[in-house]
Amino acid sequence: MDRTDGIGNWVRVDDPRDLGRATGAGDAARFHARPLRDTGGDLLAVDVIARGAETRCWRTGRDGAMALAAGLPDLPGRALTASLRGIEAASLRFGNRAAAAVMGIVNVTPDSFSDGGVAAEHAAAIARGRQLAAEGASIIDVGGESTRPGAEPVAESEEWRRVAPVLEALLADGLSVSIDTRKAGIMTAAAALGVPIINDVSALTHDPAALDAVAPLDARIVLMHAQGDPTTMQQNPTYDDVVLDVFTELQARIDTCIAAGIARQRVSADPGIGFGKTFPQNLALLRHLPLFEGLGVPLLVGASRKGFVGWLTGVKQAGDRLGGSLGAALFAGAQGADILRVHDVRETVEALTVFGAAGHGSTGGRAHRHGQAPSPSA
């Protein structure tokens, strides 16, 4: 397939009546809302997007979008209203933070794509987690199974052997820790230790027992979008429109979680940069990141050292992609990401601090509040 396939072609219209004409009937369209904000997070305008046989986009203010939603048939009206309420919730989050929170990565694996083997031993992994916390990470994300493209699965017993001592040590230090896993058994065991966040790259779909296992827990859950399994996901990623397709699939997973008894306040979403997407599709997701505010949950973005960064910059070694990774982190933070999952914590925190001070007129950033772990659902 062409590397630009699946990015979509949104046609801008000047008259909201033309949104329905894109489909032949307004109630046949799927409606979304994408906010436009200034660098301080204040809402400037809203793009209303109608997806049908053709996807069309109309720019208006919040009141104009709400008026349109009120006049739509039941299903599209409710969908647009829900997106607008998600945008309002994001506005409140922006008002309560100086910058996106930083999640530091600790891979207790021999084969992760950029740092496999660096923290494969328990002592090294524990030291790495403590270092990242000292550098300003609000959350330490610990994983014992690589999910890089082409990675083979790891047995549950081996995954737990890798992560358990690391989780115990970091929790004993009073740090906020997340467990990066696809397995229900690891999720429940980690929660029993007191781990407050479960980060699942499969959005609770890999393990059939995961949804029921997580529902009664107190832990928060990050649902990440991925097309396919790590062993095959980069072979032929295919979408009609990657932005709208990923949004719709994440929304469906959120609805499934809520139906299973998981409160919305426990859920965060991740569009899954690099997981079953071409490089141009990754860029499209970043460019249209504000659309995901409409999910009504906090947004996590993990673009650190990913392949598209090397594709853009020409840097082949993943560990050398600091500059491009900082560019992606700053852009994602400016576009509404609540949490940034990164390898290079100190550099990211410093960049966010300067960016936030310039945008907000304040010198109080996350870098000055180490150890205060924000809730992904706050």
DSSP string across 53-89: SSEEEEEE-HHHHHHHHHHS-HHHHHHHHHHHHHHHH
Same domain, 59 and 139: no
Structural contact between residues 106 and 142, judged by C-beta atoms closer than 8 angstroms: yes
Compute the average pLDDT of residues 239-249.
95
Domain edge (last residue) among 65, 94, 123: 94
* Residue 306 is a catalytic residue: yes
277: annotated active-site residue:
no
Model confidence pTM above 0.85: yes
**Domain presence at residue 378:** no
pLDDT over 90 at 367, yes or no: no
142 and 44 fall within a common domain: no
Which of residues 42, 70, 94 is at a domain's end?
94
Q: Do residues 107 and 62 both lie within one domain? A: no
Per annotation, catalytic residue among 128, 148, 183, 306: 306
Domain span including residue 51: 10-94
Least confident of 47-51, 80-84, 374-378: 374-378
Q: For the chain, how many structural domains are there in total?
A: 2
For residues 105 and 52, membership in a common domain is answered with no
Q: What is the CATH number of the domain that holds 297?
A: 3.20.20.20
Inside any domain, residue 373: no
Residues 120 and 237 in one domain: yes
Residues 210, 175, single domain; the answer is yes
Which residue among the candidates 162, 305, 341, 366 is catalytic per the annotation? 341
Q: What is the DSSP track for 118-186?
A: TT-SHHHHHHHHHHHHHTT-SEEEEESS--STTPPP--HHHHHHHHHHHHHHHHHTT--EEEE-S-HHH
| In a shared domain, residues 229 and 359 | yes
**302 vs 107: CA distance, rounded Å:** 14
Task: Check whether residue 203 and residue 327 sit in a common domain.
Answer: yes
Is residue 179 located within the same domain as residue 320?
yes
Do 224 and 110 share a structural domain? Answer: yes
Residues 31 and 118 in one domain: no
pLDDT for res 364: 46
The two structure tokens encoding residue 195 = 């781990």
374 — pLDDT class (breaks 50, 70, 90): very low
Check residue 369 and give its pLDDT: 38
Q: Are residues 290 and 269 in the same domain?
A: yes
